[in-house]
Structure 1
C-alpha cells in the first residue's frame, strides 16, 4: 500500500517508520526532511492546499502524525496547535478525499481526557473532556475525522496514543508491578499497521503500554484491530 505520512519527520513518525516501511511504500510530507533519507519526501506546510494536493496524489491511505509547537502557553503555540491539530488536518482530509483516498489513521492522544492518571477508562465511549490547549485541539481533530466519515465516507481510525517510546528506553524504565501508560515504538507501529486495514467508519481506540490494563481497558483495540501491547518489563 502507498501510505502518506503527514508530519512524517516528527518524533513519533521517526519511531515507527522502521516498522511501517517493511510493509508499505511510504511518502513523507513535512516542512523538514525525515531522518530516514531513503524515503520519498515532499516538503510543504499542512495548511497549503497546493502542497497537499501533490502530497496525496497516487496514495492509497494516510497517517496523520503531525505535531506542532509545544510552547502552548504562548500565542504562537496556540496558533500552531490549531493549525496542526485542526486546520491542517481538515485541509489534508479534504485533499485526500478529493484524490480518492478512503483510508486514514489519525494519531490522537489520551490527552483528550483530563486527569488521565486519576480515573479508570473502561471504554472509548467516555466523552473527551480536556480543556487544556493540546488535548482540546486533539479532541477537535477527532471530530474532524468523524466528520470525514459522515461527509465523505472516509474510513478513519483515531489512535489515542500514550507516550510513544523507544523499546529500549521503555524496558529500562518500566518495572514489574508498576503501572505504565508509555507505549513502545513497536507496539505503536503495530497499532498503526492494523488501523490501516480496518474499514469501519470512524473509530477511536485507546493505545497504551498499560499491559495490565490498570488505567484503561483496551478490549476494543483487541476486538477490532487484533491489537494488544506486547512489551513487558524485564523480570
Structure 2
C-alpha cells in the first residue's frame, strides 16, 4: 500500500516508521525531513492545501500523525499564544485540509493518531469508560485532539471516507516501557512496536469512523482495549520480563 504519512518526521514517526516501512511504501510529508533518508520525502505544511494535494497523489491511504509544538497535558501555562494557535492549525485545520485533499484525490481511507488526552484527568477516561464515553478534555491539547476526531467523523459522513482514530497512550521505546514497568506493575504506556502494529491494523480496517484505545495496559487495569481486540485484532504484546 502507498501511504502518505503526514507529520512523519516527529517523535512518533521516528518511533514507528521503520516498522511501517517493512509493510508499506511510505511518503513522508513534513516541514522537516524524516530520520531515515531512504524514505520518500515531500516538504510542506499541513496548512498548505496545494502542497497537500500534490503529496497525496498516487497514494492509497493517509496516516495523519502531525502534532505541532509540544504541549504539556495539563493547563494553559505552557507557552505563548502562538503555541495555542499552532495546536488548532495542526490538529483541526490541517487535518481537515488533509482529509479534503485525500477525498479530492480519490483516497478514501485515513488513520488519525489521536490521544487518550481527549479525556480529562491527565488523559485517563473515567473508571470503566470505553470508546463510547464522550471525550471531555478542555486542555488545549486534549480539546484540539477531540476536535480532530470530529473532523474525522465529518469526513466519513460527508465524503463517505473511512477514518480510524487511534487514542494512543504514551508511545515509547521498549527500553523506556520496561523502565516504567520495572516496579513490577503493568504500565499504560505503549511500546513503539505495539504502536506500529496498531497503526498497521488501522490501515487495513475500514468501517466509517471508529475510535480505538491503544494502550500497553495488557491487564486492562486502567483502560479497556476490548474494542481494539475485537475489531482490529490488536492487543499489546509487550510483557514484563
Give the TM-score, by structure 1 length: 0.96
**Bigger mean CA deviation after superposition, 24-33 or 178-187:** 178-187
* Structure 1 position 180 matched with structure 2 position 187: yes
Give the match's secondary structure for 2:182.
coil
Give the match's secondary structure for 2:163.
strand
Q: How far is the alpha carbon of 1:88 from its aligned partner? A: 0.3
Q: In the alignment, which residue of structure 2 is the partner of 1:96?
A: 102
Q: In the alignment, which residue of structure 2 is the partner of 1:27?
A: 27
Q: In the alignment, which residue of structure 2 is the partner of 1:110?
A: 116
Q: How far is the alpha carbon of 1:192 from its aligned partner? A: 0.3
CA shift digits 1:75-134 (9 cap, x unpaired): 011110000000000000000000000110000000000014484243200000000000
The 8 Å contact of residues 119 and 215 in structure 1, kept in 2 or not, is answered as no
The 8 Å contact of residues 125 and 223 in structure 2, kept in 1 or not, is answered as no
**Bigger mean CA deviation after superposition, 111-120 or 150-159:** 111-120
In the TM superposition, what are the counterparts of 1:136-215 in structure 2 within 5 Å? Answer: 136-175=143-182, 177-215=184-222
The 8 Å contact of residues 7 and 64 in structure 2, kept in 1 or not, is answered as yes
The 8 Å contact of residues 46 and 95 in structure 2, kept in 1 or not, is answered as yes
Q: 1:117 to 1:150 in 2, by over 3 A?
A: closer
Q: How far is the alpha carbon of 1:179 from its aligned partner? A: 4.0
Give the match's secondary structure for 1:54.
helix
The 8 Å contact of residues 180 and 209 in structure 1, kept in 2 or not, is answered as yes
**Bigger mean CA deviation after superposition, 66-75 or 18-27:** 66-75
Matched pairs, number: 234
Q: In the alignment, which residue of structure 2 is the partner of 1:42?
A: 42
CA shift digits 1:7-44 (9 cap, x unpaired): 01000011001110000000000000000000000000
Give the match's secondary structure for 1:174.
helix
Q: In the alignment, which residue of structure 2 is the partner of 1:132?
A: 139
Q: In the alignment, which residue of structure 1 is the partner of 2:74?
A: none
* CA distance in 1 between partners of 2:136 and 2:156 (Å): 22
Unpaired stretches in structure 2, ≥5 consecutive residues: 72-77
Give the match's secondary structure for 1:120.
coil
CA shift digits 1:43-68 (9 cap, x unpaired): 00000011001110000001101011
* CA distance in 2 between partners of 1:128 and 1:220 (Å): 16
Give the match's secondary structure for 1:159.
strand
Q: How far is the alpha carbon of 1:172 from its aligned partner? A: 2.5
**Bigger mean CA deviation after superposition, 62-71 or 25-34:** 62-71
Q: 1:88 to 1:118 in 2, by over 3 A?
A: closer
The 8 Å contact of residues 158 and 203 in structure 1, kept in 2 or not, is answered as yes
Structure 1 segments, 4+ long, off by >4 Å, are none
* CA distance in 2 between partners of 1:51 and 1:109 (Å): 26
* Structure 1 position 75 matched with structure 2 position 81: yes
